[in-house]
A and B are shown apart, each in its own frame.
Chain A
């Protein structure tokens, strides 16, 4: 299974944009890039996912490098509620046994008022 590498921690001030990087140099052509976050004392929560093109939703944007070996999760205006551990995950499309999200240790994001 392809691995992802993320910084252990990052800091931001409230209402500033946050760019969370992820390296996945061994990604294969069928791997989707997912981002989840886990707030304290809660289960992981889906943020966004994509394959090749950049993606936007109400929570965040996902910028995927042209060679797909890295991606960046962008929170446009951080709030205190965005303080969480963010996981960048690769998962394969289709086929038996592909419903597996391989969580690394993630990036702990601190947001300061």
Chain B
């Protein structure tokens, strides 16, 4: 099971919107609405930001939104803030024998 593909880095200025893509296959991203997104600050544990493609857990700002089209899922951060600078990972359930797969990760920089 190969990792889902994400851009290595994305940057934006405060207040702007950015979008991170997560590309898989019909066996994972495209086949199930079980895409999640995690935020990780340096030295910290990951934090769930989006689950089941587009749902936000309680406490996650509505600046974070998720979507999916075919085999590609996306995380959009609107109104970018300094504290959004972190690494972001997507994950998906997969029909392979391993059941779960993470993306390669994207470093978000706030200029």
User: Is chain B found bound to chain A in the same assembly?
Assistant: no
Q: Which residues of B contact A (CB under 8 A)?
A: none
